[in-house]
Amino acid sequence: MTTTADRLDLRLSVEDKNRLRRAAALHGMPVATFVREAALREAESTIAHPPKARRGSLAARLRGRATARLGTDEIMQLTRGA
Please tell me the predicted confidence (pLDDT) of residue 50.
84
Task: Give per-residue pLDDT as tens, 2-61.
Answer: 677 788 899 999 999 999 999 999 999 999 999 999 999 999 999 998 877 666 666 666
Please, what sign has the CA dihedral across residues 67, 68, 69, 72?
positive
Q: Is the pLDDT of residue 63 over 70?
A: no
Please tell me the pTM assigned to this model: 0.58
pLDDT band at 62 (very low <50, low <70, confident <90, very high): low
Which pLDDT belongs to residue 20?
96
Q: Which of 27, 43, 35 is nearest to 9 (CA)?
A: 35
